[in-house]
Structure 1
Amino acid sequence: MLILVPTPIDEESQLESTAKERILFDLEHNPEKTLILVEDLKPGRQRWLRWGMPREWIERFVAYNEHTRHNIMNDMVLAMKSGSKIYLMSDGGLPAFCDPGMELVDLCHQQRIRVTATPFPHSIALALAMSGFPHNQYRFLGFPPQKADERTKYFKDMVNMPETLILMDAPYRLKKVLEELIASGMNRELYLGLDLNSSNELGLRGQVSKIMNKIPNEKREFIVVIAPRL
């Protein structure tokens, strides 16, 4: 499992409490299967100690950044496939959002490794990070219109938009949205995030026709991220 850990962008704030509790629990109860990836070792260690985390762990940090990622990604995937949990932190903010963590998230999806995150309050950025799709350029399309003709145009138009796309709708319209994507001719891969950051969280990535067969029957809050056009 890959766990994205958002970190404060300032030097004074503490790590979010749920993230801290979760990391400490795994370090105590399953240390041999817990790995910590940080963007840069020195600032990562400084923050770790400032947060009151176990000093003995700073020597076991692994640097994951634009210079090291290609050398360690495959090893990290093998570790996760063998049952390890990997916590990924950036120097500040949300890892995998416009940073090299995106490539590790993408590889996890390809290898059917679960990707999740500790609490983060911005659903759009969180869904983009958890999708693993390139998002140097993205467009938030909001909620589809209510009127049938406007709604049809909304889905038809997005097929020709080249950038990464994000949309949302009411929980009871999840199946309808997926059906409308299929009807529009959308053939790009998508990420469907259901109840992100909750105990019922589910993330699905693939072609919309395959995701249709995996969605739960009950109503769920959702956000859709569509991969950029190749």
Structure 2
Amino acid sequence: MLETQKSFDTKSKYGTLYLVPTPIGNLDDMTFRAVNVLKDADLIAAEDTRNTQKLLNHFEIETKQISFHEHNTVQRIPELLAKLKEGTTIAQVSDAGMPSISDPGHELVVACIKEDVNVVPLPGANAGITALIASGLAPQPFYFYGFLSRKPNEQKDELKKLVNRQETIIFYEAPHRLKKTLKGLVAQFGGSRKAAFCRELTKKHEEFIRGDLDTLTDWANTTEIRGEFVIIVAGNDHPTNHQVDPLKNLTIDQQVNFYVESGLNTNDAIKRVAKHHHLRKQIVYNEFHNINK
């Protein structure tokens, strides 16, 4: 179903949700429009009210705040939505950069769209794009990924799915996890893949470290790592479409067990194996249960 939104329709009976980007380090990157929206809003929904209060104090903004973060979305969204439908104007901010980009906000946006509440985004600071254009790697096309999983096995699976992407890839990473993530990148992408570390963007100690993943590993192992990082990785110039069949070299009963261990019940696993091999279900059933013909 087609939906349209006229962001500045004065006939709207509801309030408006403004998505307001905040500086990622340098307060001078706050736009005039962002300051005015925060001043004019009835309420500011902030990821961390203490952090946002410092920003408000700097720009002499006195608008009231309410906390809105990943741990209270279930509680807050109905509350914020009710206020918006009463005509309240709400500005949503994260701690730094764009709301919804590796930060809270998306669920609220979806809820507002569903209820026909206008959502108005403001342009502004974004670490990923800022890093990309100074990385020296191809700026387009690019693929934004953000934070990889902290769990080693899940991160490994994520990187395996990304290894053949031809676009320049943007990752975010915290300083204490940088070495582990770099190790995973080398293991899956190879040490010769070109990349860049973009550290402490817009701040006093902003730094760009460029090279291949091997040389970046050497740098990381000989440097005291501080600050938040954006990792820009070149796309794969020679992607392969070869995918390993997880069922290869497994017996029929082992294949059924593979799907069972993946979460299917036995009957559905048997159906899956039968479909995979274009066999009748009964043949696989008999093989799995060791039933003689």
With the shorter chain as reference, the TM-score category is 0.3 to 0.5
TM-score of the two chains, using structure 1 as the length reference: 0.46
Larger RCO (alpha carbons 8 Å, 6+ apart): 1
TM-score of the two chains, using structure 2 as the length reference: 0.36
